[in-house]
A and B are shown apart, each in its own frame.
Chain A
Amino acid sequence: MLMKKLATAGLAAAVAAGAVGVAQAEDGQYIPVLSYRTGAYAPNGTPFANGYVDYFQLVNERDGGVNGVKFIVEECETGYKTDRGVECYDRLKDKNGGATVLSPWSTGTTYALIEKATNDKIPILSMGYGRTSAADGRVFPYVFNFPSTYWSQATAVVQYIANEMGGLEALKGQRFAFIYLDHPYGREPIPTFDILAERFGFTYDKYPVPPATMTEQKSIWLQIRRTKPAYAIMWGWGAMNSTAVKEAANIKFDMSRFIGNWWSAAEPDVLPAGEGAIGYKGATFNGAGTDYKVFEDLEGMSGLSDDGDRGTVLYNRGMVNAAFIVEAVRLAQEKYGKGKHVSGEQVRWALENIDLSAEDVEALGLTGLMPPTTVTCVNHEGTNPAILVQQWNGTAWEIITDWIPAMTDIVRPLIEQDAAQYAQENDITPRDCS
């Protein structure tokens, strides 16, 4: 095992340098991958990247691509650093006939690429992250963040807490704790929480965790032990999550009153805390485990990752990310020519016209993994933003709720307001989607 690892070290370096693709067809659909398999965020970045790349490999091997057009996947290591993410984008965007679509896997990188990608006519699919107001497709035609934005997710999390407490009225006078990565990603939902706090009468203490010292949270948890919040909400990533769960367990915080967003509730976040993590909750939109039809298709396939993370929350989510792209390419081909290479601009149209019903998802073997999704010209978030809540039982994540819808009546006006401001600042005339 060790020798095999040593022998493949050189190959791994080549992958990191971005030299290996899963298909070599000259006219394939080119998918640049801004992955982070090294550094502090690797425990989360690696399973996500594996699921993403494996799904394209599956489509290439099982189906021969989309109507014969295979995917060419190339990774570029970013280390979850915005500057390296932008560098990777610049390096890869024009290769192999141009990027089909880009998933930056970082809110910071997404922000940095919105203007560039729009000018280059390359759509960005920031699936459940990135700039929330990009959900307004009139101002951000090339950016998509379905199946839900951070703001919608924040409202759904608060709705879940309210459900637990006996209704929205019960939130009045409550005190919550919000622990977040001090990074564009972590700060993104704060305006929404401010509005929710004002509307429903609760207060919340903000606890920023600096990325450079995210494994040092003792002060935060001593404060939480002192203030005894009714609920703790986390917007974390990487080692911040596992540290927070461990520290929460250390102070004997009731883990059933600790909930993370869907980037804060995966296996690497709970395993280091051992039994102390039991009861910790998290939002999600996809199930964990391998009890889904698509995994039967993966059995026996060659060229798949072998890191042992198949069926984990993030591996499965990486697959969903890729599946959305594959379906967008399929839809684009239906409009612009079956069996032909489609451009980024054509895939942008397809992303905007995705309408995947529960039956469509079942046909893909992704029921329970991919939520039924409808995207429109105006609404790039999808028309039914919602969350599921999952809970860690010590060995696996269990989904414990039905879909909890976001408070779109609160979020949508905020999105449109922020998008309008962006349009004004950047001299953009919003599209007419009527």
Chain B
Amino acid sequence: METLYLIFIDPFVQMVVEPAFLVEVLIGGLMSGVMYSLVALGFVLIFKASGIFNFAQGIFVLFAALNFVGLMDLGVHPILAFLITVGIMTVLAFAVDRLVLRPLVNQDPIILFMATIGIAFFLEGFGESIWGGDVRPVRVGIPDAALFWEAGFGEILVQSSDLFAGVIAAFLVTVLALFFHFTPVGRALRAVADDHQAALSVGIPLNNIWVIVWAVAGFVALVAGIMWGAKLGVQFALSTIALKALPVLILGGFTSIPGAIIGGLIVGAGEKLFENYWGVPLLEGATEEWFAYIVAMIFLFFRPQGLFGEKIIERV
């Protein structure tokens, strides 16, 4: 009986009695979701253009941030460090295309997926060899103060770095949307995403497109890496954030940029609400490790293509 009360009554009573805490949890969750979305965006870009699930995207985030903060530690100006890192990620995209993707063209998707696992291991070791394993704080002037907002029903804590991340994510999505819709390269990317064969038949060079899309994913990884690095310091634990991107993708759809954002917000807010109102009282906490995967699994039962993914209909 007590368990039923803790499941069905108590959480909602608490939400009503302490609305400030509810708002705090909700805002905290949504802001965490934005951070997950930043990582998920990179997965979507590559999957959309090439059908490859890039297991190495989490390491891309870490590798890009490591290069950026490493260059800054060597005395390079942040803007120059940013530009050099964009260059490094572009070179990496070129290397991935030439050394990994081209030799494996026309192989099963699982083979390409396995290849990205290899890329992940290589980049993790390579990055560690060059820059070491220390935690490196990112000091680029991102606001990090705690803001206390006195609402009518209580004091609410909001982290300014979270708000900043939200603005950056919105900006990034806008830029990507404009890029995809109003530039020739963007239109070519969409064409390739729709149909490789048709895109080739009208003269779109597939290989160049793959380099571009991996480079754009590298750029997104750099932005995500800087935001995560400003929050936690650049460290190898960042590579595990890719674990959070997977359920976000399942929810939002592997091919949808808005889906990555909405999926991230759902996962972030959902896991924080569940942890605080159900996880801690009933399960002694630590539910955030698996909650998103359970939600993703339920989604797979009812909407396998995700909220915004393309529904694949195969006729017999």
In this assembly, does A199 line the interface, its C-beta being within 8 Å of a C-beta of chain B? no
| A46-B132, A219-B276, A222-B276 known; A210-B289 Cβ under 8 A | yes
| A42-B133, A251-B146 known; A1-B74 Cβ under 8 A | yes
- Nearest chain A CB to B74 CB, angstrom units: 7
Residue pair A206, B244 in contact (C-beta under 8 Å): no
Q: Which residues of the other chain, B, contact A250 by a CB distance below 8 angstroms?
A: 146, 157, 159
Residue pair A239, B286 in contact (C-beta under 8 Å): no
In this assembly, does B150 line the interface, its C-beta being within 8 Å of a C-beta of chain A? no
Residue pair B243, A40 in contact (C-beta under 8 Å): no
Q: Which residues of the other chain, A, contact B133 by a CB distance below 8 angstroms?
A: 37-39, 42-43, 45-46
Q: How far is the CA of A220 from the CA of B285 in the complex (A)?
A: 9
Contact mask for chain A residues 243-270; partner B; CB cutoff 8 A; 1 contact, 0 none: 1001000111000000000000000100
Residue pair B240, A40 in contact (C-beta under 8 Å): yes
| Contact of B130 (CB < 8 Å), options: A5, A218, A268 | A5
| Contact of A268 (CB < 8 Å), options: B28, B29, B135 | B135
- Nearest chain A CB to B279 CB, angstrom units: 8
- Nearest chain B CB to A65 CB, angstrom units: 30
In this assembly, does B32 line the interface, its C-beta being within 8 Å of a C-beta of chain A? yes
| Contact of A274 (CB < 8 Å), options: B137, B238, B275 | B137
In this assembly, does B48 line the interface, its C-beta being within 8 Å of a C-beta of chain A? no
| A42-B236, A210-B289 known; A219-B134 Cβ under 8 A | no
Residues of chain A from 40 to 69 with CB closer than 8 A to chain B in the complex: 40, 42-43, 45-46
| A223-B280, A225-B157 known; A252-B146 Cβ under 8 A | yes
By beta carbon, the residue of chain B nearest A206 is B284
| Chain A contact residue count (CB 8 A cutoff) | 48
Residue pair B232, A12 in contact (C-beta under 8 Å): no
Q: How far is the CA of A122 from the CA of B128 in the complex (A)?
A: 32
In this assembly, does A434 line the interface, its C-beta being within 8 Å of a C-beta of chain B? no
| Best-buried of B157, B233, B284 by chain A (most CB within 10 Å) | B233
By beta carbon, the residue of chain A nearest B132 is A307
Residue pair B125, A271 in contact (C-beta under 8 Å): no
Q: Which residues of the other chain, B, contact A37 by a CB distance below 8 angstroms?
A: 128, 133
In this assembly, does B25 line the interface, its C-beta being within 8 Å of a C-beta of chain A? yes
In this assembly, does B4 line the interface, its C-beta being within 8 Å of a C-beta of chain A? no
Q: How far is the CA of A2 from the CA of B235 in the complex (A)?
A: 18
Contact mask for chain A residues 1-13; partner B; CB cutoff 8 A; 1 contact, 0 none: 1100110110011
Residue pair B28, A222 in contact (C-beta under 8 Å): yes
Residue pair A215, B238 in contact (C-beta under 8 Å): yes
In this assembly, does A418 line the interface, its C-beta being within 8 Å of a C-beta of chain B? no
Chain B interface main SS type:
helix
Q: Which residues of the other chain, A, contact B10 by a CB distance below 8 angstroms?
A: none
Q: How far is the CA of A220 from the CA of B286 in the complex (A)?
A: 9
- Nearest chain B CB to A267 CB, angstrom units: 9
In this assembly, does A213 line the interface, its C-beta being within 8 Å of a C-beta of chain B? yes
Contact mask for chain B residues 20-37; partner A; CB cutoff 8 A; 1 contact, 0 none: 010011001100100000
Residue pair B272, A209 in contact (C-beta under 8 Å): no
Q: Which residues of the other chain, B, contact A220 by a CB distance below 8 angstroms?
A: 285
By beta carbon, the residue of chain B nearest A39 is B236
Q: Which residues of the other chain, B, contact A43 by a CB distance below 8 angstroms?
A: 133-135, 235-236
Q: Which residues of the other chain, A, contact B231 by a CB distance below 8 angstroms?
A: 246
Q: How far is the CA of A433 from the CA of B38 in the complex (A)?
A: 61
By beta carbon, the residue of chain A nearest B229 is A272
Q: Which residues of the other chain, A, contact B240 by a CB distance below 8 angstroms?
A: 40, 212-213, 215
Residue pair B135, A2 in contact (C-beta under 8 Å): no
Residues of chain A from 169 to 222 with CB closer than 8 A to chain B in the complex: 182, 206-210, 212-216, 218-220, 222
Q: Which residues of the other chain, B, contact A274 by a CB distance below 8 angstroms?
A: 137
By beta carbon, the residue of chain B nearest A6 is B130
Contact mask for chain B residues 130-148; partner A; CB cutoff 8 A; 1 contact, 0 none: 1111110100000000100
- Nearest chain B CB to A154 CB, angstrom units: 19
In this assembly, does B129 line the interface, its C-beta being within 8 Å of a C-beta of chain A? yes
Q: How far is the CA of A43 from the CA of B124 in the complex (A)?
A: 14
Q: Which residues of the other chain, A, contact B134 by a CB distance below 8 angstroms?
A: 42-43, 46, 268, 307
Known: A42-B235, A43-B235. 10 other contacts (CB 8 A): A9-B126, A9-B129, A212-B240, A215-B237, A239-B232, A239-B237, A242-B232, A268-B134, A272-B232, A307-B134
Interface set of A (CB-CB < 8 Å, partner B):
1-2, 5-6, 8-9, 12-13, 16, 37-40, 42-43, 45-46, 182, 206-210, 212-216, 218-220, 222-223, 225-226, 238-239, 242-243, 246, 250-252, 268, 271-272, 274, 307
Of the A-B pairs whose beta carbons lie under 8 Å apart in the complex, a sample of 10, sorted by A's number, is A5-B129, A5-B130, A37-B133, A42-B235, A46-B134, A212-B289, A222-B21, A242-B232, A246-B232, A272-B235
8 closest residue pairs by CB, A with B: A42-B133, A272-B233, A239-B237, A9-B129, A40-B237, A210-B289, A208-B286, A219-B275
